[in-house]
Amino acid sequence: MAPFILPHLQDRPLSLHRHPTGIEGKSFFQKDISRQAPPAWISTADIPSEHRGKPIRYMLCQDEPSLMYLANLGSIEINCWNSRRQHLERPDFTVIDLDPQDTPYTQVVETAQAVHTLLDKAGAECFVKTSGKRGMHIYVPLGGKYDYDHARQFAEIVALLVHRRLPQFTSVVRNPAERRQRVYLDFLQNRRGQTMAAPYSVRPVPGATVSTPLLWKEVKKNLDPGTFTMQTVPGRLDKVGDLWAQLLDHGVDLVDCIGRLGKVQERDRR
């Protein structure tokens, strides 16, 4: 899997979800590795923290040996920043995380389709993947041209407009207790230091499901995220390759996209 996952990990600070005794045992998240220094050949990045006096030392995964080292740490799940160390304050994409709570997966699919339709009207190309669990992640490439505030604001506008279209089973409320049986349109993942499961990352759940890039034509009512596993994804990649290979090649014009969304909003009010 290294040729497919490494391009999505390189130069990104990592948050490791470590399971030393397997998925049924205790696990923990680790981002600061300063107390447990890795071998000298592992790349790291010291990044100033907004909440503590000293920098946080993050691990980077630059090559196949580094990926193997992460596996040996029991890091089943690999979560990475939306930006790279060369431009930490400017993410490569904005993300809308569809997080369902006690809802049929068909409603996740319908919500994703609504996001896709709206972004298409905005002139914003977007990429979709399974979360590896029951959610879905939608990425809009920014090309590192905007800061995190702009990325979050754009995602928030999209989330609010989609919620307005699907109020019966979507929510933009963060508190899980207040959004039962809803698909949460999470735009708050677009903050400095927030991490998302990397494309092709295995998730620590029964079945060893994988966060898998999809074609939009695959996002339909019979989609089953449980079919994308450690056993099935390699064969899929032999057939379709990395569907997200072009994600970092360009970025949308957010000013133009927001202008188009404003026109969509005006039509909705009529």
pLDDT digits (tens, 9 = 90+) for 96-146: 999 998 899 999 999 999 999 999 999 999 999 999 999 999 999 999 999
**Distance in angstroms (rounded) separating the CA atoms of residues 193 and 174:** 18
Backbone angles phi, psi at 263, to 5 degrees: -70, -40
Domains along the chain with CATH numbers: 93-193+210-223+242-269 (3.90.920.10)
**Distance in angstroms (rounded) separating the CA atoms of residues 134 and 228:** 12
Contact present, 172 and 146 (Cβ < 8 Å): no
CA 72 centroid distance within chain: 24
Dump pLDDT digits (tens) for 201-246: 999 999 999 999 999 999 999 999 999 999 999 999 999 999 999 8
What is the arithmetic mean of pLDDT over 75-87? 96
What is the arithmetic mean of pLDDT over 243-251? 90
Q: pTM of the prediction?
A: 0.95
Other beta carbons within 10 angstroms of residue 83's beta carbon come to 23
Lowest mean pLDDT among 83-97, 120-134, 245-259: 245-259
